[in-house]
């Protein structure tokens, strides 16, 4: 649901309570900001995922290797791999799974 302001959200919550309608706020984020918070992706995970996308790491066949990505980020291949996996897990879990948001490896 999209609500324009916190005041409008408060009014909506009050209305629900007055009408005996259950109300639970699961996520709150601004549409004008990057959606990292919406998907519980850390800044480093976001950077790695975006860089991988830009380099063509997710293309078939790949245009970049894990080593290329690690070099661009200035980290080891293992660190790049772990950062990508954590970021992908957060994106998938928080976009495909219904329920409470979760996050792994958030710094």
In this predicted model, what pLDDT tens digit does every residue of 4-17 receive, in sequence order? 778 888 888 888 88
* Structural domain count, the chain: 2
Cα–Cα distance between 62 and 52 in angstroms, integer?
10
CB atoms within 10 A of CB 42: 18
Residue 105 has pLDDT above 80, yes or no: no
Residue with tokens 């660190």: 79
* Same-domain check for residues 43 and 65: yes
Q: DSSP labels for the chain?
A: ---S-HHHHHHHHHHHHHTT----------TTS-TTGGGT--HHHHHHHHHHHHHTTTSSS-SS-HHHHHHHHTS-HHHHHHHHHHHHHHHHHHHHS-SS---SS--
Summarised one tens digit per residue, pLDDT across range 26-73 is: 766 665 555 555 678 889 999 999 999 999 999 999 999 999 999 999
Q: What is the pLDDT of residue 3?
A: 77
Which pTM was predicted? Answer: 0.61
* Same-domain check for residues 60 and 79: yes
Domain ranges, residue 1: 1-33
Q: What is the pLDDT of residue 40?
A: 81
Q: What is the pLDDT of residue 27?
A: 65
* Same-domain check for residues 60 and 12: no
* Same-domain check for residues 57 and 96: yes
Residue 106 has pLDDT above 60, yes or no: no
Provide mean pLDDT across the span 75-93: 94
* Same-domain check for residues 24 and 62: no
Backbone angles phi, psi at 5, to 5 degrees: -155, 165
* Same-domain check for residues 39 and 22: no
Question: If you count them, how many residues does the chain have?
Answer: 107
CB atoms within 10 A of CB 39: 21
* Same-domain check for residues 38 and 77: yes
């Amino acid at each position: 649901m999209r609500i324009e302001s916190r005041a409008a959200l408060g009014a909506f919550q009050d209305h629900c309570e007055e009408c005996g309608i259950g109300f639970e706020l699961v996520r709150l984020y601004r549409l004008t900001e990057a959606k990292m918070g919406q998907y519980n992706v850390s800044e480093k995970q976001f950077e790695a995922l975006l860089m991988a996308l830009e380099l063509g790491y997710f293309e078939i066949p790949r245009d970049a290797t894990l080593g290329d990505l690690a070099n661009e980020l200035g980290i080891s291949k293992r660190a790049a791999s772990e950062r990508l996996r954590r970021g992908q897990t957060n994106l998938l879990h928080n976009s495909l799974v219904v329920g409470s948001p979760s996050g792994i490896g958030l710094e």
